[in-house]
Chain A
Amino acid sequence: MVLPLPLTRSKPTAESPVEFMARSHRLRWYELLPWVVAAGAFLVYPSYLALGAQVMIMVLFALSLDLIMGYAGIVTLGHAAFFGVGAYTAGLLAVHGWGEPISALFVSAAVAGVVGAISGYIVLRTTGLTLLMLTLAVVSMLNEAANKAGSITGGADGLQGITLQPLLGLFRFDLYGRVAYIYCALVLFAVWLLVRLLVHSPFGRSLTGVRENLVRMHAIGAPVHRRMVTAYAIGAALAGIAGALQAQTTQFVALNVMSFDLSGAVLIMLILGGVGRLYGAFLGAPLYMVAQDMLSRLDPVYWFFWIGLLLVMVVMFARGGVLGVGDVIWHRLKK
C-alpha cells in the first residue's frame, strides 16, 4: 500500500501499462475515511466541536506543509509565517467591517500567497542551513512587525474584536461551534480535493522529481526554481487559509501564530503522520493535538519534553511516521 498512488506492478498482466497508469489516480475507499470520521465526530461528540474545528485547521495547515516539504522537499522552519499572515488578514478584515467569511478566506489566501511568492523567490535560491535560517528569519521578521505595529495588530495582547457575518448570509456562527465545525470541514474538504489533484498532476509529479533528484531535474530541462517558488507560494496560500479559519473561528489572533513554536509544531504533526503521503496530515495533526491535550493536562510544563522525546524516537526508529510504519507492516503481511 504505497499511499496514495500504487504505480508499481510486480506481476505482469494483460492490461497495458498505459491503461494501468491512467486509472492509478482513481479515488480509493480509504481516502474517504477522514470524512467519515469527521461526520461521525460531529454526531457523536457534540461538545467537542470547537476542538474538532481546531484539529481540522491544523490538518489543513499540515497539508499545506506537506505540499512544500513532503512533495517539493523544501525543509522550512518558517511555515507559520503564512499561517500568521492569513490569520491577521482575516482578523483585520473582520475588525474593519469586512465580516463576510468566505470572501475573506480568499483574500487571506491571496495575501499569504503573495508573501510566500516573494519570500520564496529569495529564500529558495539558497539551500541547506542557509535556507533554514532564511525561512526562520521570515517568521521572526513578521513576528517583530506584528509586535511593533501594536496599534494595528494589537501587538502582544493579540487582535480582538473580530465579528463575522453569518455564513452565506444564512448560518450564524453559534456558541456550540456547530457552524464553525461544518465550515472548517467543508473548507478542508475543498482544499484536500485541490491538493490531491495538484500532487497527482504533472506539476506535482515534477515536485517529487525536484525532491528526489535535483541534478536530474535540471538535466531534463525543468525550470526548477520556478517550480519550487510556485509550490512554496501555493503552500503559503493554503497555510493562509488555515490561519484565516483560525482567526474566524476563535475570533482572536494571538501574536504567537507567527512563531518558531508553531512552525515546529506543524513539522511535528506532519512527521508523526508521515511526510509526502498526502494523508500524513490527517493522522498527524489529530494525534499531536490529542497528545498535547492529554500530556499537558498531566503536567503542562513538561509537555515539551515528551513531544521532544517523541520526535527523537520517530526520527530514530519510525522514519515514515504512522503511515510509514503502516507501510512496513503491510508489506510484511503481504509476504
Chain B
Amino acid sequence: MTSLLETRQLSKSFGALVVTSDVDFRLETGARHALIGPNGAGKTTLINLITGRLQPSRGNILIAGEDVTSTSQAARVKRGLGRTFQINMLFRELTVLENVVMTVSEHRGRAGDMFRYAFSRRDIVAEAYELLERLRLGEDALRKVREIAYGRQRLVEIAIALALKPKVLLLDEPAAGVPSAESQLILDVMAELPPDIAVLIIEHDMDLVMRFAQRITVLVQGAVLTEGTPAEVMADPRVREVYLGEHHHG
C-alpha cells in the first residue's frame, strides 16, 4: 500500500551533529497526525527535509509512492505539499491579501505571466480574498502584514499554506507565541480544515495535541521514540520519562 507521504530511513547531520536519524514515517489521506518531542529534537528539521528546504544525508522521501528525494521544493509543492513555518515567513511589507494572491497565482501557474496586471485577474484576487474571509482575516486584507497582530500573522501563515490547496499540510507550531486568548482562532481554523487532506502538526501544547490528533509520533534526538494513538503514547513510560525531565515551552 502506498502512503500519501512516506520517509524511509531519513537521516540528516550538520557536521558531527545528527539531527535526524533513520526516521521512517507515513502519513495517509485524511490523517490528523501530531509530531511531538522536546526542544531541539529535530521536528522542524524533519519538515524541512520533507519539503526539500534541506537535503537529507541519507534516506528517501516519497509522495504518493513517487521518490522526490532529489527534486526541488517547487516540484514537491506541485505534488501537494504545503507548510507553515515556526517563525513567520511572510512578505511583511506587502498586504495580507497580496501575500495570498501571490500564492494563488503561483498555484495556478500564472505567476510568471508578464503582460497583464496582476490584480486585474479578479478571479485570482477573489479566490484569495474568500480564503481570507474564511479564516476571518477579511478585515485585515488590505493592511500590511507587519502592521497586524502576531496572532493574526500566524493565521496568514496558514492561509498561504491553504492557498496552495495542499494534499499534505505540515504545520510547524501554528500557535507558537500566540497569547492564549487569540489561540482559539487558530484552533477553530484547524478544526475546519478540509477533511480529505493529511495534516501533520508539530505542537508543544499537549491539550491541543490531544484534541486534534488521531495519531502521535514522538521524536527524541532525531529518532522516532514511539508512535501510536494518543492514549497509547501517553501511557508509554518512555514518553513520560522524556517529558518529566524536560521543561518545554508552551
Contacts and interface: CB of A to CB of B under 8 A. Distances in A.
Question: Direct contact between A and B in the complex (CB less than 8 angstroms)?
Answer: yes
Interface of A: 7-10, 12, 16-18, 20-22, 24-25, 197-198, 200-206, 208-209, 212-213, 215-216, 218-224, 226-227, 230
Contacts of B120: 22, 25
Contacts of B121: 202
B247 interface: no
B164 A221 contact: yes
Interface string B141-179: 111100000000000000010011000000000000000
A220 B102 contact: yes
A319 to B, nearest CB: 14
A160 B137 CA distance: 63
A213 B74 contact: no
Contact of A8 (B73, B142, B163): B142
B112 A209 contact: no
A198 B117 CA distance: 8
Given A203-B113, A204-B118, A212 B94 contact: yes
B111 A21 contact: no
B114 A8 contact: no
A9 B118 contact: no
Which secondary structure characterizes the binding site on chain A?
helix
A203 B114 contact: yes
B80 to A, nearest CB: 10
Given A202-B110, A218-B74, A221-B73, A21 B119 contact: yes
Most buried by A among B72, B111, B122: B111
Interface stretch (B6-14, B32-40, B85-93, B231-239): B85-93
B30 to A, nearest CB: 23
Most buried by B among A7, A18, A21, A227: A21
Contacts of A227: 112
Contacts of A216: 89-91, 160
Q: Which 7 residue pairs of A and B lie closest in terms of their CB atoms, listed nearest first? A: A221-B77, A21-B119, A9-B142, A25-B117, A221-B74, A218-B73, A216-B89
Contact of A222 (B74, B118, B126): B74
Interface in B51-107: 51, 53, 72-74, 76-78, 83, 85, 89-95, 97-98, 101-103, 105-107
Given A18-B125, A206-B106, A212 B91 contact: yes
Contacts of A212: 91-94
Nearest to A224: B74
Contacts of A226: 112
A131 B129 CA distance: 38
A197 B160 CA distance: 26
Contacts of A197: 114-117
Contacts of A7: 94-95, 97-98, 142
A219 B78 CA distance: 11
A204 B98 CA distance: 13
A223 B74 contact: yes
B139 interface: yes
18 contacts: A17-B97, A17-B142, A18-B122, A20-B142, A21-B97, A21-B101, A197-B115, A197-B116, A201-B118, A202-B116, A202-B121, A203-B111, A205-B98, A206-B105, A209-B91, A216-B90, A220-B107, A221-B78
How many B residues are at the interface, by size bracket? 35 or more
B115 A206 contact: no
Contacts of A230: 112
A28 to B, nearest CB: 14
Given A18-B126, A215-B53, A221-B164, A202 B118 contact: yes
Contacts of A215: 53, 85, 89
Nearest to A13: B142
A205 B118 contact: yes
Contact of B89 (A8, A24, A213): A213
A205 B122 CA distance: 16
Most buried by A among B101, B112, B143, B163: B112
A206 B92 contact: no
Given A220-B102, A221-B74, 14 more contacts: A9-B142, A21-B97, A25-B117, A200-B117, A200-B119, A201-B117, A202-B110, A202-B118, A203-B113, A205-B105, A215-B89, A219-B51, A223-B72, A227-B112
Given A24-B119, A25-B119, A219-B77, A198 B89 contact: no
Given A9-B142, A202-B112, A219-B77, A21 B102 contact: no
Nearest to B97: A17
Contact of B106 (A20, A198, A213, A221): A221
Nearest to A206: B111
A186 B4 CA distance: 57
Contacts of A9: 142-143
B95 to A, nearest CB: 5
Contact of A221 (B92, B107, B110): B107
A22 B125 contact: yes
Nearest to B127: A18
Most buried by A among B73, B101, B116, B122: B73
B53 A219 contact: yes
A212 B118 CA distance: 17
A200 B139 CA distance: 24
A12 B143 CA distance: 10
Contact of A220 (B93, B122, B139, B160): B160
Contacts of A22: 119-120, 122, 125
